[in-house]
Amino acid sequence: MSDDQKRNSAFNAAANINVQHAQLQDLSLSAARRLYKGGIQPGDPIRTRVQAQEMLDKIPPSQRAGIDGKSTDVNTQKYLSDKHASHIKPHSKGGSNDPKNIKWENAKDNLARGDKPMTSQEQMRLDAKWHFDNLTGAVKAGVKAAPLGAVIGVVTTAPFSLLTNGLRVVRGEISAQEAAIETLKDTVKGGTVGGVTAFVTTTVAAACPPIAIALTVAAPVLAVAGTAGMVHEFFKILNDHKQTVKIYYESLTQQELERLQAIENELIYEHQKNLEFLAQAQVINQEITNRPIAPGIEGAIERLRESVAIAQSLGLASTDSKFLPDSELLYLPPHS
């Protein structure tokens, strides 16, 4: 799997993550009533809109997060379903209904405390529980988002891996079976990258509203980057294929030139040998032609002997020419 494929999978997965946190206008009437009136005794004035928003902000961000207004309302109501707006300083002892004096607490714990002030240990326990609830809610949101990210990663990776490995088959680098295996590996990796990106991005965004806002703002940019990356990757694959084929054919041309050069060198060598042979033959011919001729029969016979000796030195025998004797010439004594 190439770096381009990993980057495109991550960009596209992040661009399709949508995390929102509940706002007052998103909540149903029953949920909003809990924020305005939670913990307030009959006859006391209800909270202002600003205070109601502060009560909403006291809910762990991930527990009031969703993909749209409806889901954020459902998640907020689910979190508040077993909670009381507990006073740090009891209302009966002069504690106010201001959000600063309120913590969301399990109803059973609040009722068990009665009208006693909330101890510092209890406040620390509730603060720790707030962080724990925020973390678990964020992880839960990340797990829900991971499958979508994996699908996006697969869709982003598979076509380009198929194209890349298909061209490798065309070039003869791998077999069709190997191409299928490589494509499957890349697709799994792309899905993993997309799933992990979606999980991490959603988890962080759900736990931290500013990150979610930044992600929402950046989503169009990420989408453009992901799309541009895919277009770039497509043309890069084709260009790499073109360059590889060019190099391949250039290597074939170079091999052919080397082969032709070797043939030419061999022909030149043979030609040189032939020239040397012809030169030697010309010398021998000159020696044969320019031999002194002795007068009489004795001279003729001696000349014949020399000619036969020359022919035999060249590898010729009587079977090669009817003019060559097949036995030793008769020896004639010199004429006195």
Residues 44-68 have a mean pLDDT of: 91
pLDDT for the residue 311: 66
Higher pLDDT among residues 194 and 254, named by residue: 194
The residues with which 65 forms a beta bridge, in sequence order, are 21
pLDDT for the residue 237: 79
Q: What is the pTM of this model?
A: 0.67
Tens digits of per-residue pLDDT, 230-255?
Answer: 787 777 878 887 888 788 777 777 77
Higher pLDDT among residues 328 and 236, named by residue: 236
Tens digits of per-residue pLDDT, 250-288?
Answer: 777 777 777 777 777 788 877 787 777 777 767 766 766
pLDDT for the residue 171: 79
The whole-angstrom separation of Cα 326 and Cα 319 is 8
What is the Cα 80 distance to its own chain's centre? 45
* Range of 37-41, 57-61, 284-288 with top mean pLDDT: 57-61
DSSP string, 15-68: HT---EE--GGGS-HHHHHHHHHTTPPTTSPPPPHHHHHHHHHTS-GGGGEESS
Secondary structure element (H or E) that encloses residue 206, with its range: helix 176-207
Residues 38/102, Cβ–Cβ less than 8 Å: yes
Residues 51/98, Cβ–Cβ less than 8 Å: yes
Q: What is the mean pLDDT of the chain?
A: 83
Which of 27, 48, 22, 23 lies closest to 37 in space, CA to CA? Answer: 48
CA triple 321-322-326, angle to 5 deg: 95
pLDDT for the residue 330: 47
- High-pLDDT (> 70) share of the chain, %: 88
What is the Cα 53 distance to its own chain's centre? 46
